[in-house]
Amino acid sequence: MNNKHVIELKNITKKFVLGGMETQALRGVNLTVNEGEYLSISGPSGCGKSTLLNILGLLDSPSTGTYTIAGNDVSNLDVNQRATLRNKHIGFVFQSFNLIDELSVFDNIALPIKYSDSPLTGSALKAQVMACLDLVQMTHRTEHKPNQLSGGQQQRIAIARALANQPDILLIDEPTGNLDSKNGDAVMRMLSDLNDKGTSMCMVTHDPRYAEMAKRKLFLLDGVMVDEMNLEMVG
């Protein structure tokens, strides 16, 4: 595995004020994800997993601390600059798939390419879409609409879409949450295969079986990051 950092967080905190009460969702989180790494983050409900994923995905900002992605410090970037970095460096895989029902499988995957600064058009764009579909073994479904696919197939398409702009890392949020165990297992095997081919991944999951499939496992407890070796020491 490469030691080049894709993501680096230093002393990240996040505070919310709800009903006049301050809540600290993240407490001094330090995290690095290296190129080619497969990392899982798990923990109980309310521990800060979603908050951390939103910060990693440039959808929210920390209260304090620094965040660097692909060598870019995001601390002082405006909304448009953050969106440009997000489109270039990050692919998202959501629990609810988030496919556009009115578009074909092909057009769902092509959409993020068209909305990026990618120079791909015409046959080059088609080749990129088909390459992503080939990675998830769905090249035979290009003209289908999402509602014509099973949940497992929709998640495969969502993963292909996340790969469309050749991101530095996939951020994966509960990828099996809407799937039965058979389809969930199949999707997780496919993610492992993609990682074996070099795709960097950071996955949030509540399922300990799937967390174990990652090559590095971390836990969030009350907003504090704990690695696997030190989990038993947290009382």
Select from 86, 87, 92 the least CA-distant residue to 159. Answer: 92
pLDDT digits 0-9 by tens, 105-136: 999 999 999 888 788 888 999 999 999 999 99
pLDDT digits 0-9 by tens, 170-195: 999 999 988 999 999 999 999 999 99
pLDDT above 50 (res 235) = no
Residue 158 exposed, middle or buried by CB count within 10 Å (0-12, 13-18, 19+): buried
pLDDT digits 0-9 by tens, 86-103: 999 999 999 899 999 999
Q: What is the DSSP string of 98-151?
A: ---TTS-HHHHHHHHHHTTT----HHHHHHHHHHHHHHTT-GGGTT--GGGS-H
Amino acid at 173: D
In the three-class reduction of DSSP (H, G, I as helix; E, B as strand; rest coil), residue 188 is classed as helix
Q: What angle do CA 96, 101, 104 make, to 5 degrees?
A: 115
pLDDT digits 0-9 by tens, 134-170: 999 999 999 999 999 999 999 999 999 999 999 999 9
CATH number at residue 180: 3.40.50.300
Structural domain count of the chain: 1
Select from 5, 34, 3, 17 the least CA-distant residue to 195. Answer: 34
pLDDT at 234: 45
Mean pLDDT for the stretch of residues 5-26: 93
pLDDT at 131: 96
Evaluate whether 175 touches 95 at the Cβ level (below 8 Å). yes
Structure tokens given for 73: 């410090």
What range defines the domain where residue 24 resides? 5-233
